[in-house]
Chain A
């Protein structure tokens, strides 16, 4: 029993470290790589504020995807928004006391979980049904969806079919903050759920999940359309001038 608890404690320390360190490394890499030319996809905003608004629309509404493919948008947006609600709901395991808005969101988190699974199922079926998507899918693309779907389904099962002791789970995670390892309920469904989540955290910085930070660094979306007004020169390009 202690072995299992210790394994999961170590796993989550490791996963959290990989996630944070890996993402930080990638974000720094994106940030320090220059964008030597102005390449916003037009019609592009001509002010910083306009760009902020454009990014908000992309992040919250998936504006470009909406124009690109309605089915992918429906499933993709359902999945992501569901995941967002689920994440908010799960904050209660990691924060003490639980803030009022998080208490309010609890029932919506359940719907979020359902939406997430439906969205993922839709996205995955498209990978089989549409010949163009079948062509571009690598094994990792399928595995990623399987992983997320596994997380969603185990989560829902714990909610609706096989209940687990959430108080003990919270104690376990609160304990991790203080390096005070508390026993984790040896519930197979819970252990599977947590294992998949840890795996997701570990592969995040090495996978296509980098689309999350990547979007913010995409020059076609984050640049202000003002090349005539302001000279835009990358450091390496500046050296050519001497």
Chain B
């Protein structure tokens, strides 16, 4: 790989608001999707001829379909409350990475073509024609938004830049200017069933290997089943959980929890992906098509419940949209919400006293917790508002002796994005990813200095991958990021259930 050509920001005790440096990130744009990645999603393969007209028409269509877009393009008063909230602005100083700066890229075009003031007095209200230059800015800066929604928390009108970024990407896709990383991945889901393109046999192999590993390590037969018809629970998890570090340790943990719960469960090779990149590109149709695969798998396997593994945006799509996109779910057991998060499942068992932990297994670590943005600001767990903050922390406290939160301004609904969400987790955006991680790295570094924190647990596949990659840029170790269920996995005391387990135990005893 080519050597990085950018300077890594220096960590500071508090993330300071930089002076604006217009245009410093204009060069940062992801690879464009070629025809082979565009067509399976229903988009033109390259920039269409009358792209300007088509883009404006598409914008008009979206304005009629999404109240959020219409209201948000009108309502901004430029108060500036959002200007210092985006981790990409804080890390890069580019004012087009201020949420309002990013929104304005579309707002000025909206004003020109859809408002009286913009048609009559464009200069006065800052309206511009949709030129190639503007389109290039769109492509650069709408792919510098991780759709983390931090700005929407502080906006007096709740203006959500994610909604505008999504619309912009949908407009660009519709005129043939797609982003390679997202669109290639969605194609893989349609073709193979998951983002990574892992076919069924590879999954079965992996899971068999896991069973053996866990048996070797614990002497207990914990099962990791796939495509088992009639299982009670369908587990849908990000495909990174099948092979990446530290994701896979989370998957091992889920299996142990199910084992202790004594429930039957299964994965599906057809719906072997929790992530839904249809959301990142703002495409309702693609998001729906991906979500429907889960419905089909649930029907096929005749399960009673659906549980999602650790993945931020997947949980947003699951919690907030799954019922809309692929419901109604009346064929499932009505006693449980559809879907549930693995943390909700584990937490319920802890509440019922059904899990035994040996916390000292995690004594080699001092833990902090990273609230993933899509969980923190766009979904919930449990039955009270804010459950998504409390439940993971409760699980950590149940499994570890040493836990400290990062600075209050950087956690819960004010959490900072890892820097790689929203379809930006691609090597061609490495500069952006490293710089965008700075606010989170500052907070992590502080709690490492002040509290001796050694590890950060996360509940999002993208966060885990992103941190593994960028931690070393900041002089930290890639394995300082953990799956939350890895902590569970370490501390859980397993119950022996089969004769096989006992044999293994005897074997172990003999060795003693």
**Contacts from A to B (Cβ < 8 Å):** 26, 29-30, 33-39, 41-46, 50, 58, 62, 64-65, 67-69, 72, 76, 123, 126, 130-133, 135-141, 143, 203, 206-208, 210-211, 214-215, 217-221, 225, 227-234, 236-237, 240
* Residue of A whose beta carbon sits closest to that of B150: A41
Whether a CB of chain A sits under 8 angstroms from the CB of B170 is no
Determine if A64 and B78 form an interchain contact, defined as CB atoms under 8 angstroms apart: no
Choose among A30, A42, A227 the residue that contacts B71 (Cβ–Cβ < 8 A): A30
A137 to B338, CA, bound (A): 45
Determine if B64 and A33 form an interchain contact, defined as CB atoms under 8 angstroms apart: yes
Apart from A64-B156, A218-B75, list 19 A-B contacts with CB within 8 A: A30-B71, A34-B66, A36-B65, A43-B388, A58-B158, A76-B79, A123-B79, A135-B22, A135-B98, A140-B124, A203-B117, A206-B117, A208-B75, A211-B75, A214-B74, A217-B67, A220-B158, A221-B158, A227-B321
Interfacial residues of chain B within 458-494, with CB under 8 A of chain A in the complex: none
A37 to B384, CA, bound (A): 20
Contacts of B338 in A (CB 8 A): 228
Determine if B385 and A45 form an interchain contact, defined as CB atoms under 8 angstroms apart: yes
* Pairs across A and B, CB under 8 Å, 25 listed: A33-B65, A33-B66, A35-B66, A39-B160, A39-B163, A41-B152, A42-B379, A42-B388, A65-B156, A68-B81, A132-B95, A133-B83, A135-B20, A136-B98, A137-B78, A208-B76, A215-B75, A219-B71, A220-B152, A228-B319, A231-B324, A232-B323, A232-B324, A237-B284, A237-B288
Determine if A218 and B158 form an interchain contact, defined as CB atoms under 8 angstroms apart: yes
Whether a CB of chain A sits under 8 angstroms from the CB of B153 is yes
**B116 to chain A: closest CB distance in Å?**
5
The residue in A38, A42, A45, A143 that gathers the most chain B C-beta atoms within 10 A of its C-beta is A42
Choose among B100, B157, B328, B377 the residue that contacts A42 (Cβ–Cβ < 8 A): B377
Total number of B residues with any Cβ neighbor in A under 8 Å: 74
Determine if B65 and A34 form an interchain contact, defined as CB atoms under 8 angstroms apart: yes
Determine if B80 and A227 form an interchain contact, defined as CB atoms under 8 angstroms apart: no
Determine if B20 and A228 form an interchain contact, defined as CB atoms under 8 angstroms apart: no
Determine if B117 and A225 form an interchain contact, defined as CB atoms under 8 angstroms apart: no
A231 to B329, CA, bound (A): 9
**Contact status of A41 and B285, CB under 8 A, knowing A30-B67, A35-B68, A64-B154:** no
* Residue of A whose beta carbon sits closest to that of B288: A240
Whether a CB of chain A sits under 8 angstroms from the CB of B197 is no
**Contact status of A37 and B64, CB under 8 A, knowing A42-B413, A139-B123, A206-B116:** no
A126 to B380, CA, bound (A): 37
* Residue of A whose beta carbon sits closest to that of B323: A231
Determine if A67 and B380 form an interchain contact, defined as CB atoms under 8 angstroms apart: no
Interfacial residues of chain B within 295-324, with CB under 8 A of chain A in the complex: 319-321, 323-324
A214 to B70, CA, bound (A): 9
Contacts of A227 in B (CB 8 A): 319-321, 323-324
Contacts of B339 in A (CB 8 A): 228
Choose among A45, A133, A208, A220 the residue that contacts B68 (Cβ–Cβ < 8 A): A220
Determine if A208 and B80 form an interchain contact, defined as CB atoms under 8 angstroms apart: no
Binary contact track B65-98/A, C-beta < 8 Å → 1, others 0: 1111011101111111111110000000001001
